[in-house]
Amino acid sequence: MKEMFGSPGKVSGLALRIGQCSFAAASIGTMISAPGFFNSTAFCYLIASMGLQVLWSFGLACLDLHALRSKRSLHNPVLVSLFVVGDWVTAILSLGAACSSAGVTVLYSKDLGYCNSPPHLPCSTFQISVALAFISWFLLAVSSLVMFWLLGAV
Amino acid sequence: MKEMFGSPGKVSGLALRIGQCSFAAASIGTMISAPGFFNSTAFCYLIASMGLQVLWSFGLACLDLHALRSKRSLHNPVLVSLFVVGDWVTAILSLGAACSSAGVTVLYSKDLGYCNSPPHLPCSTFQISVALAFISWFLLAVSSLVMFWLLGAV
């Protein structure tokens, strides 16, 4: 198996996982701080999906850290297959959550005009949360592609 | 390069392309038949993205048909790289469009209750269109995975 950027048990892989975890946590924090987010199913789904991503990325970051400290290789076909499936499921759920929230945010701010007229929703907070979710998804997509590539190159 | 289900220039690949193209076209048709869809940016984006998918899948279906009739192989690394990039970009755009439309549809039907009370939006038509878009995306995702796998196995 080739050694490449972002593969498990490397510093770049660990950095990607920490980035995913922090941006997802920041997205949840921003969304929870916006009053009235619970009126929209898409925003609740965003929080659930980002929560799953925090758990998954944090777990893999711990595994990467362990592998780095004990200098063990994580390039085991079974382990990589597990990472691939988990990464892909999480990435698709995250993209779905980010896109549905983006759709609702655009509807509120542009189509319905709920930001400047009553009920005066905090659209900028929603937008920041969606942007953070997209950044987190992008980092996860990089990891997923690297994992799938590693699996294909076995 | 391995011969596998759904690879370019095979009957299964052609069937996948025709499926993508027809479901995307059906999704556009259903959405256009719903009055008031143009009030939501997400629905307009769904039509644009499904339009792109129809063009892309139709083009590749023609290429597959040509390869099948002339018994030529399309397993050229440069050609497969081109298919991979096109498939992935189209798949991500389609998933984004389907998810943002699903978010807006759920908001209309469940959170705002615009289906049973005024303005009485045609929510079931929106739901059918979104479901067709998801089926089309799923078929495109199968093609994308096969292409990426083929590229990794070069």
- B2 contacts chain A (CB < 8 A): no
CB contact under 8 A, B103 and A106: no
Q: Which two tokens stand for residue A43?
A: 């925003």
* Helices of type H across chain A: 11-33, 41-70, 77-106, 123-152
Q: Which residue of A has its CA nearest to B152?
A: A152
What residues of chain B lie within 8 A of the CB of A102, using their CB?
Answer: 96, 100, 103
Inter-chain contact A111–B39, Cβ cutoff 8 Å? yes
B106 contacts in chain A (CB < 8 Å): 41-42, 100
Per-residue pLDDT of chain A (154 residues), as tens digits, is: 456 787 887 888 899 999 999 999 999 999 999 888 888 899 999 999 999 999 999 999 999 899 889 888 777 888 888 989 999 999 999 999 999 999 999 998 888 888 888 778 888 999 999 999 999 999 999 999 888 888 877 6
Flag whether A3 is in a domain: no
Instruction: Flag whether B135 is in a domain.
Output: yes
Question: Would residue A45 count as lying in a domain?
Answer: yes
Kindly state whether residue B67 falls inside one of the protein's structural domains. yes
Tell whether B3 is covered by a domain: no
Contact A111 B152 (CB under 8 A): no
Average pLDDT over all residues of chain B: 89
Q: What's the pLDDT at A2?
A: 55
Q: Which residue of A has its CA nearest to B91?
A: A92
Tell me if chain B has a CB within 8 Å of the CB of A77.
Answer: no
Closest residue by Cα to residue B53 from B45, B64, B63: B45
Distance of CA A89 to the CA centre of its chain: 11
Q: Is B2 among the domain residues?
A: no
A107 touching chain B per CB within 8 A: yes
pLDDT of res. A20: 94
- pTM, whole model, 2 decimals? 0.88
Residue identified by tokens 């701010």 is A109
State how many domains chain A has. 1
- Closest by Cα among B88, B130, B104, B123 to B42: B104
Residue B1 lies in a domain: no
Does residue A2 fall inside a structural domain?
no
State the DSSP code for B39: G
- Domain boundaries, position B31: 11-152
